[in-house]
Structure 1
Amino acid sequence: MDLQDNGICFGDTAFNTPMANENQQEDSESIHLDSNGRLTFSPNDPSNPQNWSFARKVFLSFIAILLVVNATFASSGPSAVLSGISSSLHVSTTASSLTVTLFVLANAYGPLVWAPLSEHFGRQRVFQTTFALYVVFNFLCAFAPNFGALLAGRLLSGVFAREAMGLFTIAIFTGPTLGPVVAGFLQLKKDWRWFFYVLLWLGGATLPLVFMLPETRPNIVLLQKARRIRKQDPTQKDLQAPAEASGQGLGALFKTALTRPWRIFIDPIEICCAAYTALIYMLLYMLFAIYPLVFRQMRGWNAGVSELPLLGVVVGSIFGGCGVLYTTHTTHKKLATGHKSVPEDRLPLACVGAVLFPISMFWFAWTAQYNSIHWIVPTLAGVPLAASFLFVSVAYLNYIADCYGPYAASALAANAVCRAFCGAAAPLFTPYMFEALTVAGGGSLVAGLGCLLAVAPFVFVKYGAQIRARSKFASSVAASSE
C-alpha cells in the first residue's frame, strides 16, 4: 500500500486522505497512525479532549462539579431528617439511618462495575445512563409509600450516583456537609420528603447538562473516529483504533476489575493508605451524627440551626482545596525545571494533614463536650479538621497512583471500596459510641487512631523507595521507569 497516496501519516509526517480533501473543514478526521499502524491523535487534533479550548474545558468541568454535588449532597442529607423518617414510617432511628448507610455502601460498587463499563462503552454513555437512573430512583425515595421502598430507592440511587464521585475532591467533602444543613431546615419548616424533592429538582436541572457531555475517554474517541472514517471512506476498511486491536472484551475487563484490586490490597503501601483514608471518610460521616448530638441534644438548638456549625467543615474544605492547588502548582513548576519526581514527593501534604487531624479532633472533642464553652470554639475546630481530610486524602490517592502506575485504577478501586464500607458503617454505630463514651471520649478515641496513623506518611517519606522495591506491583512500576 502506498502510504502517501492513501493519506496516512507516520511520526511527524501527515498526508490528507481523499476523504479529508473533500472535508477539509473537519481536521479531526485526518488519519494519523502510531508506530503499530493504529489510529492515533495528531498533535493538534481537535477531537483529542486535551486539545479542547479552555472555555469548553471550564464548561465541562462545571457540569462535572454539578454531578459530584448531586451525588455527595444526596449521600448525607437524610442524616438530618432521621427523626422525621422514623416517626413518619414507624421505624427506629437506627433503622432510619440505613438511608445513609445503603447509599454510601452502594458507592463501593462504582470502581468494580462502572469503571470497566466506561472503559468498554465510554464515559459519555455511562454518565448519561447512570445519572438518569439516579434521578428516577430519587423519585422513588421522595414518594416512597413505606420504609422498604425508601431503602430500595436509596440503595439504587447510590449505585447509579457513584460514577460521578471520582471527580473534584473539594466537592466530595463539601457536598456531604451541605446536605444535612439544607435537610435540617427543610424538616424544621416542611418534612423529610422535601429533602428528596430538592434532590429531584437538583437532579432534574442537571440532567439536560449531562446529555451535553461529550466522550472524553481517548481510546473511545479514537474508536468512534475509526468507525466514522471506515464508514465515510471504504478504502480505509482496514483502519483500526487501539481499542479494536487489543481484543480485550468486556468479560476480561470485569475479571480484572473484580480480582486485581484485592491482590494489590494486601500490599503494605495500599493497606496503610486505605486504613488512613477509610478513617477519614468514616469520620466525615460520623460528623453528621456527632454535630446534632452536640448542638441539638446537648445545647438545645433546633433541627436547622444545629446543622449550621457544619459550615466550618465547608470552610475548611475550601482552605484545604486551596492548599492542594498551591501544592500542585509548585510541583508543576519543579517539573518544568527538570526536577525528577518520585512518588514520595506527594507526601509532604499528607504529613501536614497527619499532624492537623488528631490536633483538631482533640480540639473539637474537648470543647464540644462542655456547654459552658462558646459554640464558635468547636465550630472553628471543623476548619483545620476538614483541611486535614483533604490534605491526607489527596496526597495518599496521588501517592497510590504514582506508586502503582498502570495498576493505579485497581489500587484506587480497592481504596474506594474500603472507604465506602467504613463510611457506610459510621451512621450505625456513631450515636451509640458517643452516648457511651461521651463526646470527649469518643472524639479522643478517633483522635488517638489518628495519632497512630500519623507516623505513616513520615515513614513513607523516609523509607518509601525501599518499601516500593519489595512490592510486587509497585516495584515493577519503579523498574519500568528507570
Structure 2
Amino acid sequence: MPALKKTSINASFFPKAFPEENDDERSDREITNEKGEKHKIILLHFEEGDPEDPLNWSLSRKWFTVSMMTCLIGLSTSAYGSTISGMSDEYGVAEVVCQVGMFTFNAACAIAPLFLAPLCELIGRREVYLTAYGLFVLCFLFLALGQNVETQIIGRWFSGMFGSCGTILVGGTFADIWRTEDRSIPMSCFTFVAIFGTIAAPVYCGFISERVGWRWIEWVHMIASGILFIVELFFFKETRGAKILSGRAKALREQTGDNRYRSPSELESESIKQLLKKSSTRAVKILMGEPVIFFFGLWIAMAWGITFLFLSVIPLTFAGNHGWSEGIAGLPYFGLIIGCFIGFATGLWADRKYDQVQRDNNGIAVPEYRLYGAMCFGPLLPIGLFIFSFTQYAHVHWIAPIIALVPIILGIYHIFLATYNYTTDAYGEMSSSAIAGQGFMRNMFAASFPLFATQMFKGMGFQFAGLLLALITAALAPIPFVLFKYGARIRASSKYAVADGQDEHQVRETADRTLAEKNALHGSA
C-alpha cells in the first residue's frame, strides 16, 4: 500500500461538517476501543504523487471520465424534440401534449440532484454514476417501444432523473480530478460539451426521423449510450478521494486489527437526513433571500429556457417561412454550434482577463473580475433575438436568421460562465447551496418554455414573439454591470456572501469544493 501523507482532498460535494478544524486538530481526536481504552486516531491522507489519487491521473483518463457521458446525455436531451412531430401523428395527439416529455425530463433534472448528490457523498461517485447511467440507457426502451404518449412522458421523467448524474452531478468530479490552478480549461471544456450536446442533436435527428422514423432516434442514442456504458463499466474508477481513503482505512483496520486508522471523511460524515436538508432547504432559503442569487438565477434561467424554446422554434420558423423539410429545418442549428465554439474561445479570453486583473491587484481575487465576459458578450443575447425575430420573413434570405443564432448562443454561453463563476467566488462555502437554487430555477424554466413555444410564435407572430423575448433579456442584461460597480458593497451587507475583508485564500479554498457545480448545472451540463 502506498505511503501516507497529509495532503488536502478536493472531493466533497458539500461544505465540510467541521470547517473550523484543521487536520492536526482532527488527528488529536480519540476513539474508544472495546476495552474502554482511549487512543488517538491515525488520520490517512494521500502521499504526494500517489497514483491512486485522482488528482494524479493521466490527462487522457481525466478527460474520458467526464466528457463522453455528458455529451451523450446532452444529445439525448434535445433529440427528443425531433421525435415530437412524428410521435404526435402516430399517437393522434396535439404536439403540445408530446412536449410534456421535454417538461418532465428537465423537471426531473431540477429535482433529482437534491437526492442523488447525498448518495455521492455517502457511497461514492462510481456506484451512483454507473447505476444511474445504466438505468438511463434502459429508459430508451420506454421511449423507443412506447405505444402511447403517457409512456413517453413517464419514460422522459426517469430519463431525466438518471441522466442528471451525467450532466449536473458530474461537475462535482472536476473538483476530484483537477487541481485548482489547472481547472479553468477543463471547466470551460465541460461547459462547451454540456451546451454543445444540448444544441447539436437536431442537426442529424431530423434526417433520422425523415428517413427511418422517429423511434430510430431513440434507438440510435440507446446504442451509442449502451456502448459507452459498457466501456465505463471497465474504465470508470472512483474519483472521490475521500471514498478511496475510506477504503484504505477500512483495509488497514481489517489487516492490522488496529481500529485507530481513519480517513477525514469518516470524521466528517453526516446522515442522509442532514445531507438532504443541506441540499434542499438551504438552497431555497439562499435563492429567495439573496437578491444577487435570485437575479443571477433568473438571468440564467431565462437563457436556458430560451435554449430549449429554440429547439422547437427553429424548425417551426424555417419550415414555415422557407418550406424546408424536417431534416433540412435542423441545419440552422449549425449557427448555434458555431456560436458555441466562439463562446469557448472567448471564455478562455475571459479566464485570461481574470488572471491578468488579479495579478494587477497584488494577487487578490475579487469576484467582480469574473464579470468581464458577461459584460462584453451577455448583451448579444437580446441583440441576436431582435435580429432573429425581424429576419423572419419569407422574402429575407435564410442565412440572416442563422447568423443571428450565433450571438444568441454566445450571449447564453457567457451568462452561464459568469453566473457560476461569480456565485462560486462571491459566496464561498455557501455557493454550493446558491448554485443548487439557481440550478433548480434554471431547469424548471427549461422544462416550461417548450410547452408554449409553438403557441407563442404562431399566436403572436414570429417577429413579435421574438421581440418580447429580446425585451425581457435586455431588461436583465445590466445585471453584470450593476454587480461590477456595486458588488463589493452588496457582499459586505450579506450574511452569506464573501466580504472584501475576508481572507481570499481561505475563501477560494472553500469555493474549490463547489466550483464543480458550474456546470451545475446545464440541464444539460
What TM-score does the superposition give when structure 1 sets the normalisation length?
0.89
Kindly indicate whether residue 191 of structure 2 is the aligned counterpart of residue 189 of structure 1. no
Q: Which residue number corresponds to residue 27 of structure 1?
A: none
Q: 1:476 to 1:341 in 2, by over 3 A?
A: closer
CA contact (8 A) 2:488 2:499 kept: no
Which segment drifts farther, 203-212 or 467-476?
467-476
Q: How does 1:15-26 map to 2 (within 5 A)?
A: none
1:87 to 86, 89, 106: 89
What secondary structure is seen at the aligned counterpart in 2 of 1:472? coil
Task: Work out whether 1:65 is the aligned partner of 2:89.
Answer: no
Return the alpha-carbon distance in structure 2 between the equivalents of residues 470 and 83 of structure 1: 52
Give the Cα separation in 2 of the matches to 1:326 and 1:216: 29
State yes or no: 1:43 paired with 2:48.
yes
Q: Distance in 2 between matches of 1:244 and 1:424?
A: 38
For 1:472, give the aligned amino acid.
K
Aligned to 2:326: 303
CA deviations on 1:84-137 (whole Å, 9 max, x unpaired) are: 101112221110111212111111024312211111111111110100000011
Aligned residue number for residue 356 of structure 1: 380
Aligned 8 A contact 2:304 2:442 in 1: yes
Q: 1:73-222, aligned counterparts within 5 Å?
A: 73-166=75-168, 167=171, 168-211=190-233, 212-222=235-245
Q: Structure 1 vs Structure 2: percent identity of aligned residues?
A: 30
Of the structure 1 ranges 414-423 and 72-81, higher mean CA displacement relative to structure 2 is found in 72-81
Q: Partner residue of 2:34?
A: none
Q: Which residue of 2 aligns with 1:339?
A: 363
Shift of 1:44: 2.4
2:61 aligned residue:
56
The yes-or-no answer on 1:465 pairing with 2:470 is no
Q: Deviations over 1:329-375 (max 9, x none)?
A: 453466578521111111111112222111111111111x2111111
- 2:389 alignment partner, one of 365, 382, 386: 365
Structure-2 separation of matches of 1:177 and 1:158: 17
Which consecutive residues of structure 1, in runs of 5 or more, have no partner in the other structure?
1-6, 13-32
2:423 matches 1:400: yes
Amino acid at match of 1:174: F
Shift of 1:326: 3.0
Q: Structure 1 residues 417, 465: closer, same or farther in 2, change over 3 A?
A: same
**SS state of the match for residue 36, structure 1?**
helix
| Runs of 5+ unmatched residues, structure 2 | 9-22, 28-42, 172-189, 507-525
Contact 2:350 2:370 in 1 (8 A): no
Contact 1:10 1:34 survives alignment (8 Å)? no
Equivalents in 2 of 1:330, 1:425: separation in Å? 36
Per-residue Cα deviation, 1:399-420 (whole angstroms, up to 9, x for no partner): 1111111112111111111011
Q: Contact conserved, 2:76 with 2:221, CA < 8 A, in 1?
A: yes
Contact 1:403 1:477 in 2 (8 A): no
Distance (whole Å) between structure 2 residues aligned to residue 230 and residue 117 of structure 1: 24
Aligned residues: 451
User: What per-residue deviation string (whole Å, max 9, x for no partner) do you get for residues 404-453 of structure 1?
Assistant: 11112111111111011101111111111111221111111111111111
| 1:248 maps onto 2:270 in alignment | yes
Per the normalisation by structure 2, the TM-score is 0.82
- Change in Cα spacing, 1:247 to 1:69, as seen in structure 2 (3 Å) is closer
CA separation of 1:285 and 1:341: change in aligned 2, threshold 3 A: same
Specify which structure has the bigger relative contact order, considering alpha-carbon pairs within 8 angstroms and separated by 6 or more residues.
2
Contact 1:362 1:444 (8 Å CA) reproduced? yes
> How much does 1:182 deviate?
2.1
- Rounded to whole Å, the distance in 1 between the matches of 2:311 and 2:6 is 57
Code of the residue aligned with 1:366 in structure 2: it is F
Query: CA RMSD of the aligned region, Å?
Result: 2.1
For the residue of structure 1 that corresponds to 2:458, the secondary structure is: helix
Residues 1:163 and 1:10: Cα distance change in structure 2 (over 3 Å): closer
> 1:473 aligns to what SS in structure 2?
coil
Instruction: Answer yes or no: is the 8 Å Cα contact 1:357–1:388 preserved in 2.
Output: yes
For residues 54 and 93 of structure 1, do their structure 2 counterparts lie closer, same or farther at Cα, with a shift above 3 Å needed?
A: closer
What is aligned with 1:226? 249
Q: Matches of 2:469 and 2:7 in 1, distance apart?
A: 56
Structure 2 distance, partners of 1:351, 1:336, is: 20
Q: Could you say what secondary structure the match of 1:279 adopts?
A: helix
Contact kept in structure 2, 1:84 and 1:191, CA below 8 Å: yes
- Cα 1:310–1:435 shift into 2, 3 Å: same
Q: Find the residue that maps to 1:43 and give its secondary structure.
A: coil
Q: Distance in 2 between matches of 1:442 and 1:53?
A: 49
